[in-house]
């Protein structure tokens, strides 16, 4: 079953620091039961600007720097400095204040944020990072983070797997999932055909009850897939479809 956000529902908020935040998750809202996935979005930070964000208790934040550089600090000082291709995960037992800064004097950056909620009992809140191998990022699903033991990926407490795929024009690719899983598809750049719908940069789709999810790139594209367990509503719909 496919649910599409058929319009580009990007929300742009300007702050006094000239930070642009683009919400790429029109399917996600506060009143939905979405399981571990809470929010996904892009943040653009102007040169030498910084802002404060709060990581909620019992949550995980996965950051992927798509362009430029990013510094992360907390009350204790610098945590990590990232550049394009770096992926970073922070798990919080308690509420944590983080400061994101673009250290560049000339270039704005572009950062993908994925917010997850889970029971992190016994999970240490120390951050960790991995480096993307850009050469592996074309015509496959490169794992960024996973709670399923995948190699070369950040370790998550959630039963969740996050993939990046860069597709060349006219390339076809199939993502295979299993029963009782749902897949969120976010097109960051380009345009892809998913089922009978065309998704462009900023569009998203939720797919569940499908074992194979084929997509075709209509131009050079960058796609994020998040594979998580079904929430209660989706599970009920899938069980109803099986029984009928």
- The domain that holds 113 is classified in CATH as 2.60.120.10
* Token couple for 41: 């979005």
What is the pTM (predicted TM-score) of this model?
A: 0.83
b/e sequence 21-39, b meaning 16+ C-beta within 10 Å: bebbbbbbeeeeebbbbbb
Q: Tokens 């099986």 label which residue?
A: 242
In sequence order, what DSSP letters do the residues of 41-97 get, joined into one string?
A: EEEEE-TT-EEEEEEPTTEEEEEEEEESEEEEEETTEEEEEEETTEEEEEEESS-EE
Angle of CA points 237, 242, 244, to nearest 5°: 95
**Domains of the chain: total:** 1
pLDDT (tens place) for every residue of the chain, 244 residues total: 666 544 444 443 334 344 455 544 444 544 444 567 877 878 888 899 888 888 888 888 999 998 999 999 988 888 889 999 899 998 887 888 899 999 999 999 999 888 888 766 666 666 788 887 666 666 788 889 998 888 788 888 888 899 999 999 999 999 998 777 888 888 888 999 988 889 888 788 888 888 889 999 999 999 999 998 876 666 666 556 555 5
Q: What is the pLDDT of residue 138?
A: 65
What are phi and psi for residue 74, nearest 5 degrees?
A: -125, -165
Instruction: Quote the mean pLDDT of the chain.
Output: 79
Q: What is the pLDDT of residue 3?
A: 67
> Which domain, by its residues, includes 50?
2-243
Q: What is the pLDDT of residue 170?
A: 93
Q: What is the pLDDT of residue 115?
A: 87
* Token couple for 53: 């964000």
SS3 17: coil
Q: What is the pLDDT of residue 180?
A: 73
Could you give the count of Cα atoms lying within 13 Å of 244 in the half-sphere of its Cβ?
6
Q: What is the pLDDT of residue 42?
A: 80
């Amino acid at each position: 079953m496919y649910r599409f956000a058929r319009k580009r529902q990007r929300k742009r908020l300007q702050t006094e620091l000239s930070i642009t935040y683009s919400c790429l998750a029109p399917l996600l809202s506060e009143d939905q039961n979405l399981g571990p996935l809470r929010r996904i979005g892009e943040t653009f930070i102007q040169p030498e600007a910084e802002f404060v964000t709060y990581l909620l208790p019992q949550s995980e934040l996965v950051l992927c720097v798509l362009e430029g550089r990013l510094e992360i600090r907390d009350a204790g000082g610098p945590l990590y400095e990232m550049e394009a291709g770096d992926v970073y995960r922070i798990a919080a037992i308690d509420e944590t204040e983080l400061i994101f800064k673009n250290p560049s004097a000339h270039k704005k950056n572009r950062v993908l944020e994925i917010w997850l909620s889970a029971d992190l009992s016994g999970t240490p809140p120390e951050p960790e990072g991995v480096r993307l191998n850009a050469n592996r990022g074309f015509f496959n699903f490169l794992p960024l983070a996973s709670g399923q033991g995948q190699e070369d990926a950040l370790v998550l407490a959630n039963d969740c797997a996050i993939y990046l795929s860069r597709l060349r024009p006219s390339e076809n690719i199939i993502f295979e999932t299993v029963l009782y899983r749902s897949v969120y598809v976010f097109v960051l750049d380009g345009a892809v055909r998913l089922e009978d719908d065309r998704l462009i940069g900023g569009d998203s789709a939720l797919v569940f009850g499908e074992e194979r999810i084929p997509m075709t790139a209509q131009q050079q594209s960058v796609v994020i897939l998040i594979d998580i367990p079904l929430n209660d509503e989706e599970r009920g719909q899938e069980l109803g479809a099986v029984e009928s």
